[in-house]
C-alpha cells in the first residue's frame, strides 16, 4: 500500500475491538504484519494468544489489571504514556503494515494523553501504515483527523439481561 489511512471505531455498542481484530486477521492472512497495542487493558483477554497462531501478529498491553472507574491513577497514566511512546516507535518504524491502538480513544477521554499528542504520533508515521483507533468517546479532533469513522450503536445487548462477559466472545 502506498498510503495508509486512519480508521476510528467508536460508539457505545459492542464490537469495536472485535472489528479491529477481524481487520487484523484479514491483514495477517494477506501476508501483512500487524501490531495490536491495547491501552487501558492489562487483563487476560483471549486475543493475547493470537501471536501463537498468527505469524506476523504482535500484541502488547499498556494498562493495569483493573478498570478505571473514576480518576485514573499514576500507574494508569504511566502505562498509557509508555503505550503512546511504543506506538510512535512502531508507527514510524515502517515495520508494520497495520497498527491498532485499541482503546486509545478512552485513554484520551480519561486524560492519560491528549488528542493532539496522538495526532502528532499519527502524523509522524510511515506513509503506508494503516491505523485503527478504537474506543468509546472519540475526541472530535481525532474524528476530524481520521479518514474513516464507524460508530457502533447499541440497540440491544444480552448484558442488560444479566449475561456476564464470556471467554472467547467478550474477552
Instruction: Tell me how crowded residue 76 is: count the other CB atoms within 10 A of its CB.
Output: 23
- Rounded CA separation 87/11 (Å): 23
67: pLDDT strictly greater than 90: no
What's the confidence (pLDDT) of residue 85?
Answer: 98
Tens digits of residue pLDDT in 6-15: 999 999 999 9
What's the confidence (pLDDT) of residue 41?
Answer: 83
133: pLDDT strictly greater than 90: yes
- Rounded CA separation 148/59 (Å): 23
What's the confidence (pLDDT) of residue 136?
Answer: 97
- Residue the block writes with cell 497495520: 98
Computed over every residue of the chain, the mean pLDDT equals 94
pLDDT band at 140 (very low <50, low <70, confident <90, very high): very high
- Rounded CA separation 56/12 (Å): 30
The answer, as to whether pTM is greater than 0.85, is yes
- The domains of the chain, with CATH numbers, are 6-161 (3.40.50.300)
Amino acid at each position: 500500500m502506498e498510503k495508509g489511512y486512519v480508521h476510528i471505531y467508536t460508539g457505545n455498542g459492542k464490537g469495536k475491538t472485535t472489528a479491529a481484530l477481524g481487520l487484523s486477521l484479514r491483514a495477517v492472512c494477506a501476508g501483512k504484519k500487524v501490531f495490536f497495542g491495547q491501552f487501558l487493558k492489562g487483563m487476560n483477554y483471549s486475543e493475547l494468544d493470537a501471536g501463537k497462531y498468527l505469524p506476523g501478529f504482535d500484541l502488547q498491553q499498556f494498562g493495569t489489571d483493573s478498570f478505571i472507574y473514576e480518576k485514573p491513577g499514576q500507574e494508569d497514566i504511566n502505562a498509557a504514556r509508555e503505550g503512546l511512546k511504543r506506538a510512535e516507535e512502531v508507527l514510524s518504524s515502517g515495520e508494520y503494515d497495520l497498527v491498532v491502538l485499541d482503546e486509545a480513544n478512552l485513554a484520551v477521554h480519561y486524560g492519560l494523553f491528549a488528542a493532539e499528542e496522538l495526532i502528532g504520533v499519527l502524523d509522524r508515521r510511515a506513509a503506508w501504515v494503516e491505523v485503527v483507533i478504537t474506543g468509546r468517546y472519540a475526541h472530535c479532533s481525532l474524528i476530524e483527523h481520521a479518514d474513516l469513522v464507524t460508530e457502533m450503536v447499541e440497540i440491544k445487548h444480552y448484558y442488560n439481561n444479566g449475561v456476564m462477559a464470556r471467554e472467547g466472545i467478550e474477552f
